[in-house]
Amino acid sequence: MTRELSLFVGTFTTLLAIINPLEVLPVYLKMLAGKDDATHRAVARKSCTYALLLCFFFLIFGTLMLRIFGVPLPMVRVVGGIILVKIGFSLFMPQRSDPSSSAAEAGDSDIAFVPLAMPLMFGPGAIATIIGMTATIEQSSTELLSFVALSAAIVATMVVTYVLLANAKRLTRRIGPMGIDAATRIVGFFVAAIGVGLAFDGVIEALQMHGVTSLH
């Protein structure tokens, strides 16, 4: 059970850091400017539901594809770690851009899916996190419990994200732009650190697979 708890905490914290709802708040509010609270909550609920379904899609079929094509799990960890490091640095040293451009490109389409659910909430970082964490699950009697822990972490992440989005106006007034920027940079640092750890573990396992090193 200790392993499943660690998997839950690791996946939850990493996914929440990757999604970073605080960074989504300004975009969310700008696209829904002038809308009432009921509309804000409805869009928040729909976008989190879409992101939740996308996460489970990659949780199920991502693992299936790895097993079908025989992709070595250490390689998945290395690639996932590199992606997380890149995203972490981009959060720590953000490049200023106009986030509303995604909304403009979406036109009259459902903004709950594009750009909120994808790519703001569910993008390469979330994909890398889910597949990377799934790759840590070995064939064992606790595999089912590990998948349950992953699923619970995904659901918990989306629940927290929904709560933050549903209260976006109050949070933005209290935290302010400077607070959001500071939180984003701190999150970016820890995402990069998590990515380095994931890639390092993958390299060690790859070396062990090829008999280059071994644990004593």
Q: Tell me the pLDDT band of 56, cut-offs 50, 70 and 90.
A: very high
Q: How many CB atoms lie within 10 A of CB 52?
A: 20
CA 92 to chain centre: 16
pLDDT tens readout for residues 7-50? 899 899 889 988 888 778 877 887 787 888 888 899 999 999 99
Among 135, 14, 119, 123, which Cα is nearest to 78's?
135
Q: Average pLDDT of 162-181?
A: 83
Instruction: Give SS3 for 147.
Output: helix
Residue 114 has which token pair? 């594009």
- The pTM of the full predicted model, rounded to 2 decimals, is 0.70
pLDDT band at 74 (very low <50, low <70, confident <90, very high): confident
What pLDDT is recorded for position 107?
Answer: 37
Residue 50's pLDDT is 95
For 57-68, give one letter per residue: b (16+ CB within 10 A) or e.
Answer: ebbeebbeebee
Residue type (1 letter), 127: I
pLDDT in tens, 75-128: 777 877 787 788 778 767 766 554 444 444 443 347 888 778 887 788 777 887
